Structure 1
Amino acid sequence: MNTNQVNQGTIENGGEDSVAVLTSPLSLACESGTDYRAPNLLHRILGLLKNVRPGSDLTRFSLPPIFNIPKSQLQCYGESVYCVNNDMLTRCANGGNPLERFTLVVAWTISTLRPLMFGVAPYNPILGETHHVSRGNLNVLLEQVSHHPPVTALHATDEKDNIEMIWCQYAIPNFYGTSIETQVLGKRQLKLLNNGETYVMNSPNLVIKFLPVPDVEWLGNVTIRCQETGLEAELCFKGNSFLGRRGNYRSIKGKILSSTEMKTIYEINGHWDRTVTIKDINNGKMTVIYRAKDVISAMKTPIVKDVKGLWASESAVLWGKVNEGILNKFWDKAKDAKTTIEDRERELVRNRKSKGEAWVPNHFVLSNCKKETGESEWEWEVKPKHTKVPPAPIIVPL
C-alpha cells in the first residue's frame, strides 16, 4: 500500500488491538482507483445484480468488499467538509456584504461534490458509528443515527470564525436495470453566526450508469436559500446523454436571485470538476468563483494525532481490518472482517428487539415528521446534543 495515502493508529479495545486505517480523500486524482479496485468490475457488478429486480430499494443490500473503497460513507460525507486544499469556509465567514457571502457559499457548496469511482462504493455505516476529525479550528463530528432507513448526522463548529454546520442526510438507492439512482435526501445548514445568516441547501442525486458507458454522476437540482438576506440560488447539475455524448458532462448551470424582488442577479455556468463562473446580469461581467483544481486536488490524508482519544465506534477503527484487506487485495480477509462487523450488528439489533429497547443516538437527537409533498414520505431532522464539537483525535495536516 502507498504510505503517502494511508495513515494508521492502534488502540487497545477490550484486550484486542484495533487498527485505525485512514486513506487518502476522494479528489480529482482519485478516479483512476488503481490502488484497490479489482479487475473486471463491470462484469462482476452485472453478475451481482442479475437477480435484483428493477425498481428495488438497495438500502439493505450488502456489497462484498471487492466492490468497496476502504472507507465508510460517514468518512465520505465528512471529507466533503474537512478535506480541502483551500479554506473556503473562512472566506464565506469573512465576506464583506450579504451578496459576496452568498456567492462564496454557493462556491463552497459546489466544493462539497467529489468525483467518485465507477464500480466501488463506501461501506454502509452501522448504527452508532462515528467519525470525528479536525482541520485547523474546524471540528467535525458525524454519527449514524439510524440504520433502516440509513440516516447520517453531521455537526461541525469553528469557534474562530464562528461557523456552525448541521447536516441530516439519508440516501435511498434504487436499481433500474441499466443504472442505480440514489436520492440524497435531507437538509444541510451552514450558519455564519457573526452575520446572523443561515444557509439551507440540499444535495444532488448520485447516478451510477452501467450502459452504454459506465460512469458515476451527480445529477439534479440544488437550491440554496438564506432567509435573512432573501438571496437564493438555483443550480442544475447535468451529465452525459444516454448515448454517451459528453456535452453536458459534469456541467452546472443556474442563477443567484433576490427572492424578495424576484430579480436575477447572476447567471452561473461551468463544470463542477473544473471551473465555475458567474455573469453579472447588469453589466455582463464574468467572474470565476470556483476552481476545482485549487480546492479538491493535492489534499492531505488525515492522521491520528491522539491514539487514546479514538473511540471504538470511529469509522477508521471499526472498519480498520476491512480497509487493510482491501488495500492489500486480501479479499478473503476483508470479507471475513466485514462479515464479523455485520453479524455483530445484527446480533445487537436482535438483542435490543428482544428487550424492547430502542436505539438512542449518543451525539444527536433524531426526529421525523410526515411530509405533505416530496420524494420521501418522511422528513428526518437532527439536533446536536452539544453546542460545540470538541477537537478530534484525528486531524487533517495544514
Structure 2
Amino acid sequence: MNLGEQHFQREATEGDVGTRAVLTSPLTLEGESDVDYRAPNLLQRILSLLKNVSPGSDLTRFQLPPLFNIPKSQLQCYGESVYCVSDDILGRCASGESSLERFTSVVAWNISILRPLMFGVAPYNPILGETHHVSRGTLNVLLEQVSHHPPVSALHATDEKDNVEIIWCHYPVPKFHGTSVDTEVHGKKQLKLLNKGESYVMNSPKLVIRFFPVPGVDWVGNVTIRCQETGLEAELCYRGNSLLGRWANHRAIKGKIFMSSSLKTVYEINGHWDRTVTIKDISNGKLRVIYNAKEVLSGLKTPTVKDPKGVWSNESAVVWGEVSEGILKKNWEKAREAKIAVEKKERELVRERQAKGETWVPKHFTISYSKENGWDCSPNQKLVPPAPVVVPL
C-alpha cells in the first residue's frame, strides 16, 4: 500500500459498482494534512495560471486544474467545520445557565468554525445538486449545492439531544487583485437554541490569499453576532499576518460583547483564533479562556462509511471520488481526466434541462434571492436524518 492509499477510505455505494466514496482526513490546526497534496513549484504555477487574469476580475467561474485542488469538495470543508471537533462547544451553547453564558459559548463556537487553510490549493467547486451528509453522535449535518452560477451552498444541522439547529447559506465571491485573491463570503449563519427560544445570526470574515511578499492565507475582517431575543451582540475583528510577520499579530482576534440597547460593553475579547481566546469582565477585570484551538481542533477523526447502500450518488465523496484518488496518489493525469468527466457530465445535464425548458429545484432546501438581502435558504425538513457517513467518537 503506497502513501496515498494509507490516508483515504474507499467504499462501494448503492447502484453503480464503479462508484466509490473517497473520504480524506480533516485539515489540521496548522492548515496542513498528514498527506501533502500540493504539487512542486506551486507559487510559480499559480502565477502562470493567473497571468492573463485582469486585476479586479471575479474568479467565481474560474476552473482550477487538479494540481491546485485538495481532495475535498467545498461542501465537505463547510461540513467539517461543524462536525469535525474534539470538544462539545455546541453542547455548552445549549446548556449554559444564563443568556450571557450561552452567548459567550456561541462566540467560542463561531471562532471554532474557522479553519486554517493551505496556501496554493483549494477544494473542488461543488456541482449543482451535490450533497454532503454526515453524522457525529446525535449531530446530523446535511449540505446541498443549491446554485452553481453563482455558487451558493446551503447547510442544515440538527441535534435532537441538545435541541440545536444550524442553518447556513454561503455565497463566496473571489476576486483577483494582482498580488492576492480576496474572497468575500456572503450569506449568513444561524444557530438556534430551540429549548431557550434563542436565535443567533452571524456573518463570515473574508478569506485573503496573498502571493507577495510572503505567500499565505488569512481570515480577515469583521464579524457580528446578534441575538435578538436577549439583546446581546458581539463584534469580532480578525487580523491577518503583518508584513513584518510578527507572531504576536498572526491570526489575532479582538472584539467585545455588549448590550445592543445601551451599547454597554460586558466583555472584551482578545487572543488568536488558532491558539487561545480570552474574555475580560469589564465589571471586575477578571480574565478567562473561552476558546482553546488545540483542545477543539486536535485529534480530528476522518469520517467513515457506516452504511454503503445509504450513500447517495450525488454525495461529494462519490462525485469527486476518482479525482481525489488521483490527487492522493499524485497521478495528475488521472485526476485531470476524472475532473473533466465530472464537469462534462454537469454541462450535459444543463443542456438537457435547457432543451426541455426545465428549471432545477434543490431537493433539501428552498432558496430565495433579493437585491437587499442576497441569497437565503430554508431547509425543507425539520430534522436532518442520521447519515450513512459518520465521524467516529
Cα drift, residue 353 of structure 1: 1.6
Query: Which residue matches 2:9?
Result: 7
> Secondary structure of the residue that 1:389 maps to in structure 2?
coil
- Offset, 1:87: 1.1
C-alpha distance in 2 between matches for 1:156 and 1:6: 25
Give distance in 1, aligned partners of 2:268 and 2:14: 54
Shift of 1:357: 1.2
User: Paired residue for 2:299?
Assistant: 298
Residues 30/244 of structure 1: CA separation in 2 closer, same or farther (3 Å cut) = closer
- Residue aligned with 1:13, SS: coil
Aligned-partner residue type, residue 94 of structure 1: S
User: For 1:269-348, what aligned pairs fall within 5 Å after superposition?
Assistant: 269-348=270-349
- Name 1:24's counterpart in structure 2: 25
Q: Write the deviation string for residues 130-154 of structure 1: whole angstroms up to 9, x where unpaired.
A: 0000000000000000001100000
The yes-or-no answer on 1:165 pairing with 2:160 is no
CA displacement at 1:11 relative to structure 2? 1.7
C-alpha distance 3-30 of structure 1, shift in aligned 2 (>3 A): farther
Q: Which amino acid aligns with 1:386?
A: Q
> 1:26 and 1:227 mapped to 2: Cα distance?
34
**Which deviates more from structure 2 when the two are superposed, residues 321-330 or residues 243-252?**
243-252
Q: Distance in 2 between matches of 1:331 and 1:182?
A: 27
Q: Answer yes or no: is 1:90 the counterpart of 2:85.
A: no
* Distance in 1 (alpha carbons) for counterparts of 2:327 and 2:35: 12
* Cα contact 1:212–1:244 (8 A) shared by 2: no
Deviation at 1:12, TM superposition (A): 4.4
Corresponding residue for 2:392?
397
What is aligned with 1:40?
41
**Percent identity, aligned pairs only?**
69
SS at match of 2:119: coil
Residue type of the partner of 1:393?
P
Which has the larger displacement, 27-36 or 176-185?
A: 27-36
Q: Shift of residue 261 of structure 1?
A: 2.2
Counterpart of 2:377 in structure 1: which amino acid? V
- 2:50 maps to 1:49: yes
1:350 aligns with 2:374: no
Per-residue CA deviation, residues 303-349 of structure 1 (Å, 9 max, x unaligned), is 00000000000000110000000000000000000000001101111
2:177 is matched by which residue type in structure 1? Answer: Y
One-letter amino acid matched to 1:248: N
Q: 2 CA distance for matches of 1:242 and 1:358? A: 48
TM-score (norm 1): 0.96
Task: Tell me whether 63-72 or 238-247 shows the greater mean CA deviation.
Answer: 238-247
Give the 3 Å change call, closer, same or farther, for CA 32–18 of structure 1 in structure 2. Answer: closer
- Aligned residue for 2:63, secondary structure, equals coil
Displacement over 3 Å in runs of 4+: 1-5, 242-247
- 1:8 maps to a residue whose letter is R
- Contact residue 201 and residue 222 of structure 1 kept, 8 A: yes
| Superposition pairs of residues 168-179 of structure 1, within 5 angstroms | 168-179=169-180
Query: Which blocks of at least 5 consecutive residues in structure 2 are unaligned?
Result: none
**Residue 384 of structure 1 corresponds to which residue in structure 2?**
379
Distance 1:44 1:264 in 2: 48
Contact 2:14 2:308 (C-alpha < 8 Å) held by counterparts: no
1:191 match: 192
Number of equivalences:
391
